[in-house]
Chain A
Amino acid sequence: MAAEEKLVVMVTHGPEDPEIATIPFAMAGAAVASDVEVVMGFQGDGCLLVKNGVAETVAAPEFAPLAQLLPTIQELGGKVLVCSPCAKKRGLTQDDLIDGAEIVAAARFVAEVTSATNALVY
């Protein structure tokens, strides 16, 4: 059954700021648990969070660690979209990213946000 609600969560902070990097994953996790369709969009330094091996290094006090949140969100159906120019600027190719991550351009983000019931930007 398709979800009746869709949340887009845009992530622009990287591992240098663990709390702000983790909060969007906590929100996305609660959303997928609540049967809300979730799309996470990674732009700027946020792209670094979905580079292979990076999530395992990010943990903020009092939050579940990214190493737990990210795979759970994907397991429960959350999508991971990565900004193409942001990835390119950081030397990231598809092979550098976690399984399931999709490199996309601006129009895809626009399509996701405009078709969502809500969007959060971090």
Chain B
Amino acid sequence: MATVLNETEIDAFAPAKTVDARGAACPGPLLEAKKAMGGVPVGEVLELWSSDSQTKNDVAAWAGKVGHEFLGVADADGYERVFIRRAK
């Protein structure tokens, strides 16, 4: 179960980059995250927007495999905001 983040926690992350993958189908949001992460400094946070409810689980699995830190998810208006910290 992904951690649900509140606005205070999100503000503290101060995401370095936001990617809008709303409307993209599997595995589109994951691929967008992969491509965007290259532009995020190590230690900084990527915010990914997705309207696919499975994205948070897919991204959590991906982050665990490649060594990034999956921070959690927040509900938005018809989509989810997923947060990952670049670890390497």
**Which stretch in A27-35, A93-101, A111-119 binds the other chain?**
A27-35
**Bound form: Cα–Cα A72–B35 in Å:** 9
CB–CB A30/B28 < 8 A: no
CB B33 to nearest CB in A, in angstroms, measures 8
Interface centre among A26, A62, A64, A72 (most CB of B within 10 A): A64
CB–CB A76/B34 < 8 A: yes
Residues of B within 8 A of A33 (CB): 27, 30-31, 33-34, 62
**Bound form: Cα–Cα A29–B28 in Å:** 9
Chain A interface mostly? helix
Chain B contact residue count (CB 8 A cutoff): 14
**Bound form: Cα–Cα A32–B62 in Å:** 11
What sequence of 0s and 1s flags, for each residue 69-84 of chain A, a beta carbon within 8 Å of any chain B beta carbon? 1001001100000000
Residues of A within 8 A of B1 (CB): none
A contact residues, range: 10 to 19
- Once A30-B62, A34-B65, A35-B66 are accepted as A-B contacts, the answer to whether A63 and B26 lie under 8 Å apart by CB is yes
B74 at the interface (CB under 8 A from A): no
What sequence of 0s and 1s flags, for each residue 28-50 of chain B, a beta carbon within 8 Å of any chain A beta carbon? 10110111000000000000000
A residues near B (Cβ < 8 Å) are: 26, 29-30, 32-35, 62-64, 68-69, 72, 75-76
What 6 A-B pairs come out closest when comparing CB atoms?
A33-B34, A64-B28, A29-B27, A30-B27, A64-B25, A34-B65
Can you list 28 pairs linking A and B with CB atoms under 8 Å apart?
Answer: A26-B26, A26-B27, A29-B27, A29-B30, A29-B31, A30-B62, A33-B27, A33-B30, A33-B33, A33-B62, A34-B62, A34-B65, A34-B66, A35-B66, A63-B26, A64-B24, A64-B25, A64-B26, A64-B27, A64-B28, A68-B28, A69-B27, A69-B31, A72-B31, A72-B35, A75-B35, A76-B31, A76-B35
